Chain A
């Protein structure tokens, strides 16, 4: 006997939970199945050394859409709100950024940065509107509402005004480096802007459409960064609570083996342990490649669609490094009070591009870039009293390392990363009591994301909006009856934004309404 649900959601990532919660709220009987023992997917807090915890993959909150918070009446407990950014200089002449203000640069640069931010905020607001909508279909059989959405997009771009519209159209496909170099003379400022644009992608500052990825990053809270109390799990736990309040059943430690297909329709799932759950709809929070190639199987979908899914670029390049420290390290020119902020190691735009060069050829960066936080500084719950944890995103660490990922290659990169950090924190080596490195391969293995890419698929124009994850499947419904996507691989993309989960739930409810 199998249990019967309206909807089975595969994966309890933040998008899966949001989608489940909204469907539950609308009266659907929903089951969420999560392979790991913890809900949250890649937005979780884990203990990586005795007494030391850290947000495992995503570690800062800046994109969670306010629509999601509103729809689910979510109240977040934040350890700190509005983190500043310190772009570290090897010489100690750091540049500090907060909002659209920057210090440690020339007056001209500071003024330019204000202008730059103003424009970027404006464009990101425009983008944000469409991140929270299902992309319109452009096919022959596009509906009236598709055409209206498309017309609205055109109208919204036009409404920027002639000058700003031209600027928008000029910038949207451009690379961040050219814009940064054109505007700023400070290498540190350029480096910081470039790093924010390329974080989490397989793109360098000179890669096309890195302005788009920069805007994408801003399109939540205008770049205002916060740190949830207790790490990312507090956000996803809150989402799980909301889901349970809406009647959703969540089962963890249970891995879905396959989506059951009956006569061309998804009718449930079977877990690795052989349990069967029937449902009218299956919604996958897994990435599109795993969903189609592993859970559904190529035999159940058509050739060109399979081909497109198979070719989604989803090889991650961002690793996470976690250090347990017996005290805060010394950073020359940084006051102790500032350790609640975010530190960047990207002293020059060329430094970032050079770091990327290696990744193009399957090598890890020799001089990697970092986004560093000390979450325990504001949140004592994460480390024993007087001790601290460091959580850093480090790039570029390609998923497809030419030598292959092994104990040896991981240790070698971990040593290189720590040595690079020690260039800025001279006493770091002596303070480390434990360390953890999560390469994209580890992220794939532990969080079940093919390629370990934090967007489930590169955030580039050919995999964006109407063609995300692939053409013909950009409206959350897959070309198999009863199957939907709700994760980062669907529009609009990754980051702890929740837009994909919310949009998917809305698309499902809209399609389900008039039977």
Chain B
């Protein structure tokens, strides 16, 4: 990782000059040392760009580690709970990694760039854990967060925009695939991944090409409703996609102090990512034991009656509101689904699909607080899951 001189306390992404031109709100926050925009225009406008045309989100602050060396496969396969032997070069895996107690440290994506070379992307920083995991293995882990910048290009017209930009063959890229293009003499990596639950891509390039990439992308997208978006709109769409976020829907295990405040992948609804057929991965013993004995918590997707977002609500078991069984971690009214949706955590055995629960929603109207007990149904599928997300080749919208 190269050391960067910064004028102020926060890094600026290489896209910052272009973002600053567009910015109407001047609302920025800190994301792992980088200044990141909450939004540029207005959250709803940006949100509808994601769902109806294309939103462009600056991924640069996303932590990126390059993993190389003879034991790189052994390293990633031991690190995460899923079977990485199935992730061939040119594929991307969504994965979680756990401590020895089987508690989730973070989730992220692992790009199998070429044979034996991986890139791990996550919201949080994990150098200490990755270094610890490399003891006794012949592997090199390099933090390349500051060397590589990225843009998430998400929405129904994203495919058409990239096609227009001249990325020939992009139509063949399947979900969770990655491919390389030549872009103005540099290498541009494109993966069909994202955090919106929709058709979308992520573009990765070295910092020097950042502005050129931005310009080429926005030129191509001019007639396709392309729009820069901030974190608020993205947050909205990831909830519709039923995707979980660290520090919101779960706490990284190494950030918890009290026992019982961390979560296992089984408790986060990520059992499909845990492959007990693998002889060893971190947390395997503890997770196998949890599987035998049963989990404590369950993450649920809730479809709630009414239109008041159930922010931070307690969840009670129906019908007689006798027992408080959990709480809401993410909530919003979803315009595209026309549903009042939420993610929450409940105590097992509650939370089976179809179970009716009650959520206690507090809301304020002209300063006065009111309360409503709303019925919530546990649902199985992501709230927003359009077929275009999976279609290969994607349709031209």
Binding site for B on A (CB under 8 A): 261-264, 293, 297-307, 310, 472, 479
Contacts and interface: CB of A to CB of B under 8 A. Distances in A.
Interface string B170-208: 000000000000000000000000000000000000000
B137 A303 contact: no
B136 A297 contact: yes
Contact of B74 (A261, A299, A301, A305): A299
Contacts of B135: 298, 303, 306-307, 310
A264 B100 contact: no
A264 B132 contact: no
A302 B285 contact: yes
B231 to A, nearest CB: 31
B129 to A, nearest CB: 8
A293 B135 CA distance: 9
B82 interface: no
Contacts of B78: 299, 302-303
A306 B71 CA distance: 16
B70 to A, nearest CB: 12
B13 interface: no
Nearest to A299: B74
A302 B282 CA distance: 5
Interface string B73-85: 0100011000000
Contacts of B79: 303
B137 A298 contact: yes
A48 B279 CA distance: 47
B284 interface: yes
B99 A304 contact: yes
Given A264-B284, A304-B99, A305-B100, 17 more contacts: A264-B280, A298-B135, A299-B78, A299-B137, A300-B280, A301-B280, A302-B78, A302-B280, A302-B283, A302-B285, A303-B79, A303-B100, A303-B129, A304-B100, A306-B132, A310-B136, A472-B100
A306 B284 CA distance: 14
B282 A307 contact: no
Contacts of B285: 302, 479
B19 interface: no
A24 B285 CA distance: 30
A510 to B, nearest CB: 20
A263 B79 CA distance: 17
Interface in B297-327: none
Interface string B45-59: 000000000000000
Contacts of A263: 279
Contacts of A310: 135-136
11 contacts: A264-B279, A264-B280, A293-B136, A299-B71, A301-B280, A302-B100, A303-B78, A303-B100, A303-B132, A304-B132, A306-B135
B133 interface: yes
Interface residues of B, number: 18
Contacts of A300: 279-280
Contacts of A261: 279
Nearest to B277: A263
**Which of B71, B133, B136, B137 has most chain A Cβ within 10 Å?**
B136
B264 to A, nearest CB: 14
A246 B282 CA distance: 40
Contacts of A303: 78-79, 99-100, 129, 132-133, 135, 282
A123 B40 CA distance: 72
Which 10 A-B pairs have CB atoms at the shortest separation, nearest pair first? A298-B136, A264-B279, A304-B100, A302-B100, A303-B133, A263-B279, A299-B74, A310-B135, A307-B132, A303-B282
A266 B329 CA distance: 43
Interface in B9-26: none
A306 B79 CA distance: 13
A317 B153 CA distance: 61
A472 B100 CA distance: 11
Contacts of A262: 279
Q: Which one of A298, A302, A304, A310 has the greatest number of beta carbons of chain B within 10 Å?
A: A302
Nearest to A140: B259
A155 to B, nearest CB: 28
A310 B135 CA distance: 8
A306 B282 CA distance: 11
Contacts of A293: 136
B243 to A, nearest CB: 26
A307 B137 CA distance: 12
Contacts of B74: 299
A311 to B, nearest CB: 9
Interface string B132-156: 1101110000000000000000000
A286 to B, nearest CB: 16
A26 B100 CA distance: 35
A472 B132 CA distance: 17
A237 B78 CA distance: 43
Interface string B119-137: 0000000000100110111
A261 B279 CA distance: 9
